[in-house]
Structure 1
Amino acid sequence: MAARPYPVITVNEKAARAIRGGHPWVYGAETTGPDRPCQNGEIVDVVSAKGRWLGAGLLNDHSKIRVRLLSRNTNDKFDEAFWRRRLQYALDYRKTVMGPDFPYSRLIFGEADHFPGLTVDLFGDILVTEVLSLGMDQRKELLYRLLTQLLPDYGITVRAIYERNEGALREKEGLPQEKGFFPLPGLATDLDGHVTLWENGIAYDVDYINGQKTGFFLDQKYNRRAAAALAPGKRVLDCFTHTGSFALNCAKGGAAHVTAVDISRDAVELTRRNIEANNLTDRMDAIQADVFDLLTELSRSKAHPYDYIILDPPAFTKSGATVKNAYRGYKEINLRAMKLLPRGGYLATCSCSHFMTAPLFRKMVQEAAADAAVSLRQIEERRQSPDHPILWGVPETEYLKFYLFQVV
């Protein structure tokens, strides 16, 4: 291999195996070096204990993930042309897999697009971003500028870029938590934070400044459509509704009536606005309640007011240390929903936590069904929409589990 200009980090065999298997993270405990002084955020080469080149990535001694790999191609030069080309790959992929849904999609999904720690969502003409790694943070201005240059070729003229850099992971990277409009020349920095998003023929008022995450969960786009296909004539209870997305899809899909529930007053108010904006007030309502308490209360009444229940909770666990508690939480809501449904009723249930793995989630659902003394007829098993691609070899990119069942 020709001489390269980058400092060298040496990794142990465990790390080398992970890299060869496709994983882009190198933990500090698995490394020695670099072979010369360098700054955090710099490009470094990663080699095995035998000196075999494994890839190049971004260094950060503040983080447990000491190197985040960018490339396994020795010909790559990490100049502006490299980043433009990589962004083009990501945009071309979304245009192919999302088609007419491209204007409301996730353009960059971190490691799955080889932009470690970077998220970019497109809401019409607004880019909403989250940066969770030092290396990407140092390069974000270049990446934002390139995106604004590339997107007109896809029919998008960017009006503003808003950063939601509030994740706790930023502290572990040595970065401050912050949010605000990014002051790129020619872009607006004084908008009210609301934009209308269209999905499956439904309009949503998205609050990208104060809403959860980037303001809207794009990953359930096609799961919502699949759930709506079962809705005609049904009485639907949509739990943890957030912006009312599953509920709105079901109402538009022909449900007899839909009740959307969330513990957040702001979420309920936003859902009500979305109900009115879509002219669905005749078949929908939204209430503020704790889902656990509501399901218990309904179950005790021994009534069966709903024949279709949707469970789309927030992540009950964001670390391996709390998986057992999360398991109990997921099981409890699924158990209560199954007890509440009549025989022949329908259940949509999901988890958005990577740590609640697919096998663990299936085990939980099976145990809940046994405790509820019901059987489940699986209709469909799904994952996140393809603008949130699953990169094989990187299990962290496979996080959303979604199931449709009939309770029999």
Structure 2
Amino acid sequence: MSARISLNVGREKSLLRKHPWIFSKAVNKIKGNPMLGDTVDVFDSKGNWLAKGAYSPESQIRIRVWSFDEHEEIDRDFFFAKLQSAQARRDWFIEQGKLTGYRLIAGESDGLPGVTIDIYDNFVVCQLLSAGADFHRYTIVNCLTELYPGCHIYERSDVDVRKKEGLEPVTGWLTEPQDSTECIIEEHGIKIHVDIATGHKTGFYLDQRDSRLAAGKFAKDKTVLNCFSYTSTFALHCAANNAKEVINVDVSQDALDMGERNLALNGLSDANVSFVKEDVFKLLRRYREEKRTFDMIILDPPKFVESKAQLTGACRGYKDINMIAMQLLNPGGLLLTFSCSGLMEASLFQKVVADAALDAKRKAYFVERLQQAADHPISSNYPEGYYLKGLVCQVE
């Protein structure tokens, strides 16, 4: 019999809206002795059943809800059905974009809190970030091997958030080890090298797929500065769409080397594409001193803000880098600028970019908005799933 969790008066409101998180301060009483990752039943202060969720005694998010159905068992059938339905929701755009790399499970947004699963050709990468996800690791793996016969499953549970759950980092093969962790995926006709063991996130930034496509649409005959380029996949779309010149900038030589491999993989080695290993902030300031200008600049920086306490400083950082970028644009040039910080709301990000235009003494028109690709869905009951914001600005 599962443990019984009773909430404080009034703390059931978010659950009635089907939000999947229960914070520690909402908990009143615990009947039983639940262990890390155990499934518990949750009741309101009057004894009415509310939900079933995974218990995490060390996390501020004390319970992550698996189900709002009292009769649903959290077993293999539960996970298999979740994986099946997530795949079915994605089939249409996988076919549309001819994708061989995509996110299958986006945690709470797909009804599996703390579970991230990405498909890279015949590799499946799992990131298990919560106590409940970790508890059901081998059930999830068993379901994946049935749904994707012959797949090779690798774990990338190497994210700091696991510490908040009382979990250690874990990486390595969950099925028979393979000789290589590299593969090639394809999106909208572009081929991309991915290393699932050493690449960022689970190997690659799948969430920027639509933005890369948009960049290519705008790039024809333009000089493009691609900042924080990582493996230069924005540049691939730009070069494939006949950009006049593309400069990729990143602090990682390994990432830039992978970018060159990606260029060759797509038969674009003869394109006017170059690679610069340098800090983006320093390079932008140097280009400003040299009076360099570009027709299009892409700013896709790493996350600037991890907590609310960092938000003010992050706004200053975003404003500074967008201001300098606008100063480097030719009149009528395009700035594609992004924030992957969940705490940076879309309205605040637009205000920061608008303030950057004022400081740059330029006028910006917001001509298009971008966001995470469809395989990173934003659920109506989990607004926190909306984290990636992008703006296309035409700068006069």
Q: TM-score range by the shorter chain?
A: over 0.9
Q: 1:373 aligns with which of 361, 366, 391?
A: 361
Please report how far the alpha carbon of residue 338 of structure 1 lies from its aligned counterpart in structure 2 after TM superposition: 0.3
What is the distance in 2 between the residues matched to 1:300 and 1:27? 50
Which region of structure 1 is more displaced relative to structure 2, 272-281 or 306-315?
272-281
Runs (4+) of structure 1 exceeding 6 A deviation are none
SS of 2:218's partner is: coil
Specify the code of the residue in structure 2 equivalent to 1:176.
E
Instruction: Assess, with a 3 A threshold, how the Cα gap between structure 1 residues 102 and 307 changes in structure 2: closer, same or farther.
Output: closer
TM-score, normalising length: structure 2: 0.96
Residues 98-247 of structure 1 mapped to structure 2, 5 A cutoff: 98-100=94-96, 101-152=98-149, 157-158=150-151, 160-182=152-174, 184=175, 188-247=176-235
What is the distance in 1 between the residues matched to 2:192 and 2:281? 26
Please report how far the alpha carbon of residue 169 of structure 1 lies from its aligned counterpart in structure 2 after TM superposition: 1.2
Please report how far the alpha carbon of residue 222 of structure 1 lies from its aligned counterpart in structure 2 after TM superposition: 1.1
What is the distance in 1 between the residues matched to 2:292 and 2:55? 58
1:263 aligns to what? 251
| Residue 24 of structure 2 is aligned to residue 32 of structure 1 | no
What is the distance in 1 between the residues matched to 2:260 and 2:92? 34
What is the distance in 1 between the residues matched to 2:68 and 2:213? 38
| Residue 285 of structure 2 is aligned to residue 293 of structure 1 | no
| Residue 89 of structure 2 is aligned to residue 93 of structure 1 | yes
Q: Over residues 57-99 of structure 1, what are the superposed CA-to-partner deviations in whole Å (9 max), with x where a residue is unaligned?
A: 0111121111000111122122222221121111111113432
| Residue 291 of structure 2 is aligned to residue 302 of structure 1 | yes
2:64 aligns to what? 68
Instruction: Assess, with a 3 A threshold, how the Cα gap between structure 1 residues 287 and 193 changes in structure 2: closer, same or farther.
Output: same
What is the distance in 2 between the residues matched to 1:127 and 1:378? 37
Q: 2:52 aligns with which of 56, 66, 69?
A: 56
Q: 2:386 aligns with which of 398, 401, 404?
A: 398
What is the distance in 2 between the residues matched to 1:205 and 1:98? 18
What is the distance in 2 between the residues matched to 1:111 and 1:51? 26
| Residue 370 of structure 2 is aligned to residue 349 of structure 1 | no
CA contact (8 A) 1:22 1:392 kept: no
Q: Over residues 43-62 of structure 1, what are the superposed CA-to-partner deviations in whole Å (9 max), with x where a residue is unaligned?
A: 11111112222211011112
Instruction: Assess, with a 3 A threshold, how the Cα gap between structure 1 residues 14 and 242 changes in structure 2: closer, same or farther.
Output: farther
CA contact (8 A) 2:100 2:187 kept: no
Specify the code of the residue in structure 2 equivalent to 1:44.
V
Aligned residues: 394
Please report how far the alpha carbon of residue 287 of structure 1 lies from its aligned counterpart in structure 2 after TM superposition: 1.2
Please report how far the alpha carbon of residue 125 of structure 1 lies from its aligned counterpart in structure 2 after TM superposition: 0.3
CA contact (8 A) 1:243 1:267 kept: yes
Query: Which structure 2 residue ranges, 5 or more long, are not aligned?
Result: none
Instruction: Assess, with a 3 A threshold, how the Cα gap between structure 1 residues 119 and 31 changes in structure 2: closer, same or farther.
Output: same
RMSD: 1.4
Query: Which structure 1 residue ranges, 5 or more long, are not aligned?
Result: none
| Residue 325 of structure 2 is aligned to residue 337 of structure 1 | yes
What is the distance in 2 between the residues matched to 1:146 and 1:132? 18
CA contact (8 A) 1:94 1:102 kept: no
Which region of structure 1 is more displaced relative to structure 2, 347-356 or 94-103?
94-103
Please report how far the alpha carbon of residue 405 of structure 1 lies from its aligned counterpart in structure 2 after TM superposition: 1.4
Please report how far the alpha carbon of residue 102 of structure 1 lies from its aligned counterpart in structure 2 after TM superposition: 4.7
CA contact (8 A) 2:99 2:185 kept: no
TM-score, normalising length: structure 1: 0.93
Instruction: Assess, with a 3 A threshold, how the Cα gap between structure 1 residues 102 and 203 changes in structure 2: closer, same or farther.
Output: closer
